[in-house]
Amino acid sequence: MIRPQADQKGTIAIIDLTYKKCSLSSYEFTAPIEEITRKAGYGTEIIHHSQADELVSAKKHKMAILCGTALMDNSMKDWIRNLGWVLRSSMPVLGICAGMQLICAIHGCRLEEKHEIGLRKIRITEKSRLMSQDIEGYMLHSISVTSTAGSLKDPKRPEREGIGSMIRILARDSRCIQAVKVKGREIYGVQFHPEVRNPQIIRNFLRT
């Protein structure tokens, strides 16, 4: 359902990655993102990932945000199947937590089981429109992006992208990659949950 706003700046597709439509997890991972987006002056449409391929459209939606999901939710293969539009469409996309994992997976990155829960310090490796200084972010993930390239990397400089990587690393913490951008596209990913302590990051994305 589209929720328009008076004088709205456009409609943002809020993609619910949780385990089923209108799930108990949607309150926790989707609703706060929608709230931040609406307070920034945008109309919103929450779309479950199972319907995203047919419902997300550049004609209706200015941008899309892929929200996170519960730690126990391992529906990655379903997300990948339902989110081919991320590659086909030219609209700006922000992936949060599981959303970032999806963006990285479809661009050839390596994901591993590595969990983080709670607040952690995040170090900027490249300034971007999302973030320009180090922050503290709230983590809630059981899978992490540990390499942005499926190809060779220099073991002496592991922080550098591998040859041919389509992903630029924007931030890290001591254990894994925390923010990325797809080269040549306005597609971003953050591993942490900005809706908890850093809503400005979402607002910065919306200004894309």
Partner 1 sequence: MKLGILYSGGKDSNLALARAMEKEEPVCLISICSKNPDSFMYHTPNIELTRLQAKAIGLMHVLRETEGKEEEELEDLKEAIRTAISKCRIKGVVTGAIESVYQAARVQRICFDLGLWCFNPLWQMDQEEVLKETLKKGFKTIISGVSAYPFDESWLGRRIDEKAIEELLMLRDTAKISPSGEGGEIETSVLDAPFFSKRIRITEALGSYKNYSGRYIIKEARLEDKKQ
Which residues of 62-151 form beta strands (DSSP E)?
63-66, 93-96, 110-124, 135-147
> Which among 170, 2, 10, 12 has a CA at the least distance from the CA of 93?
12
Amino acid symbol at 106: I
# chain residues binding partner 1, by CB under 8 A: 23
> Which among 33, 41, 92, 43 has a CA at the least distance from the CA of 67?
33
> Which among 42, 1, 43, 44 has a CA at the least distance from the CA of 21?
1
Q: How far is the CB of 172 from partner 1 (least distance, A)?
A: 20
Cα separation, 53 vs 104, whole angstroms: 18
Q: How far is the CB of 195 from partner 1 (least distance, A)?
A: 6
- Contact between 24 and partner 1 by CB under 8 A: the answer reads yes
Complex with partner 1: residue 32 or 92, whichever CB lies closer: 32
Among 1, 90, 118, 152, binds partner 1 (CB under 8 A): 118
- Contact between 113 and partner 1 by CB under 8 A: the answer reads no
Among 140, 166, 170, 202, binds partner 1 (CB under 8 A): 140
Q: How far is the CB of 23 from partner 1 (least distance, A)?
A: 6
Q: How far is the CB of 205 from partner 1 (least distance, A)?
A: 18
